[in-house]
């Protein structure tokens, strides 16, 4: 089987490796792009049987999806139809979900909408960050990808998603991690700070500005990190204890955020 793989972040590499062990990967596309006529003709010239897509960051048009004879499989890190869209892993952590998982769907041109091929659950951990949970979910996807592709090529009868139960997640920006110290909202939402720190690590991170020393202007950029660590702009990460002892207004800041 001739496969073209689409996927951007480093944590999808175990999936590529597993596919290459069993199938012929004729092209790997790592950079999101709009496919013009020339690019579409180049894809057609590779005569792919299947596209496999994981965390690619770009919607593929109906014209592009029609190129492979068997269509396209998308690997989505949630139990669809819950958490369609760009930030399902962050949303699971923010909401304190005890379980999440990976869904393999037959792609259509709508966002995470196609029928379900297979789903695999994964428990979340109390200390999971976006980084750790992403790695684990896509490793699970890698463990299952060969069997899913083989079964998919033999069976084209899949379970439609229940659109009435669909929830959607947004594309995050840096501002989504900003703490308003007046309202203690993060990105204009009243979120659990500890969960937000883990969900937004390593990007966009949970951050704010604060005058750590008297007459400190402009206010210092401060990031909150997992494992009760904090990072002042230009400095290495430190524990809350070291931060409190090292800055005149350190305790005031931590108290304001109910972190101590």
**pLDDT of the chain along its 260 residues, tens only?**
999 999 999 999 999 999 999 999 999 999 999 899 999 999 999 999 999 999 998 999 999 999 999 999 999 999 999 999 999 999 999 999 999 999 999 999 999 999 999 999 999 999 999 999 999 999 999 999 999 999 999 887 899 999 999 999 999 999 999 999 999 999 999 999 999 999 999 999 999 999 887 665 668 899 999 999 999 999 999 999 999 999 989 999 999 999 98
Backbone angles phi, psi at 129, to 5 degrees: -110, 170
Calculate ∠ Cα 161-65-119, nearest 5°.
Answer: 35
Tokens describing residue 222: 């401060």
pLDDT value for 27: 97
197 DSSP assignment = H
215, with CB counted inside 10 A (0-12, 13-18, 19+), is exposed
Helix 13-22 and helix 130-154, axial crossing angle in degrees, nearest 10: 30
User: Rounded to an integer, what distance in angstroms lies between the CA atom of residue 44 and that of residue 24?
Assistant: 16
Q: Provide the H-helix boundaries in the chain.
A: 13-22, 37-45, 62-65, 88-94, 130-154, 193-199, 240-246, 250-256
pLDDT value for 219: 84
User: Rounded to an integer, what distance in angstroms lies between the CA atom of residue 148 and that of residue 117?
Assistant: 8
Tokens describing residue 231: 């990072």
pLDDT value for 156: 74
pLDDT value for 216: 58
The two beta strands, 2-6 and 238-239, are unpaired
- Cα torsion angle, 64, 83, 76, 144, sign: negative
Domains, the chain, with CATH or none? 2-169 (3.40.50.170), 174-256 (no CATH)
- Of 134, 11, 109, 9, the C-alpha closest to 51 is 109
């Amino acid at each position: 089987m001739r496969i073209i793989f689409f996927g951007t972040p480093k944590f999808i590499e175990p999936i590529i490796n597993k596919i290459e062990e069993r199938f012929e990967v004729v092209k790997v596309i790592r950079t999101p792009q709009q496919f013009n006529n020339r690019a579409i003709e180049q894809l057609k010239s590779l005569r792919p049987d299947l596209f496999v897509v994981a965390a690619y960051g770009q919607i593929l048009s109906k014209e592009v999806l029609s190129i492979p004879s068997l269509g396209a499989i998308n690997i989505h890190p949630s139990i669809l139809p819950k958490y369609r869209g760009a930030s399902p892993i962050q949303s699971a952590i923010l909401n304190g979900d005890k379980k999440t998982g990976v869904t393999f769907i037959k792609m259509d041109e709508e966002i995470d909408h196609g029928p379900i091929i297979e789903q695999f659950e994964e428990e979340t951990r109390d200390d999971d960050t976006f980084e750790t949970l992403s790695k684990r979910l896509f490793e699970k996807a890698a463990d299952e990808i060969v069997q899913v592709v083989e079964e998919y090529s033999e069976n084209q009868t899949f379970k439609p998603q229940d659109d009435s139960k669909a929830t959607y997640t947004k594309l995050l920006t840096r501002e989504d991690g900003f703490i308003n110290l007046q309202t203690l909202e993060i990105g204009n939402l009243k979120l659990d700070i500890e969960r937000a720190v883990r969900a937004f690590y390593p990007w966009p991170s949970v951050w704010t500005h604060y005058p750590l020393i008297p007459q400190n202007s402009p206010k210092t950029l401060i990031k909150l990190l997992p494992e009760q660590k904090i990072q002042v702009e230009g400095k290495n990460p430190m524990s809350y204890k070291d931060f409190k002892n090292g800055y005149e207004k350190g305790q005031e800041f931590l108290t304001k955020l109910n972190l101590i």
